[in-house]
Amino acid sequence: MSEFDVLAASAAGMDAQRAALNVAAQNVAAAETGTDFARLVPQFSVANGDVDEDASFADPDADGLVRFTGTRRQAGTSADAITEMIAILNAERAYEADASVFDAGKRLAERTIDVGRP
């Protein structure tokens, strides 16, 4: 993995978390209406497959980046503000972590370029 792959991976993670924040905001808005809306759950994919704890991704042509693929309605669960505020906090923390990795990758790329200078 090169320093530029680190930048791409962290940028993809930030984009995925931005999408998760948008979904949580939609759920908060639905919860505030006072009617019973089904909770939306963000869906992501990695390496051309679904995100699964037990999955192994062995596709050598896959880029391994996290991508937001849409939402699904969570059956039997209605949107409530407290659950969505927790989801927002989790997405914020993940976004900040990805931003920190992006900054580290940027510094690494800058230093790599500096090494090549006379």
Q: How confident is the model at residue 91 (pLDDT cuts 50, 70, 90)?
A: very high
Percentages helix, strand, coil for the chain (3-state, rounded to 5) are: 55, 20, 25
In Å, what is the CA distance from 67 to each residue of 15, 34, 43? 8, 32, 9
Each domain of the chain, given as residue ranges in start order, spans 3-115
What tokens were used for 102?
């992006």
Give the separation between CA 27 and CA 20, rounded to whole angstroms: 11
User: 116: pLDDT confidence band, cut at 50, 70 and 90?
Assistant: confident
Percentage with pLDDT > 90 across the chain:
30
Write down the pTM of the prediction: 0.74
Kindly state the tokens that stand for 70. 């849409």
Residue 6 contacts residue 111 (beta carbons within 8 Å): no
Burial pattern 7-26, b for ≥16 Cβ within 10 A else e, equals bbbbbbbbbbbebbbebbeb
Q: How far apart are CA 102 and CA 10, in angstroms?
A: 5
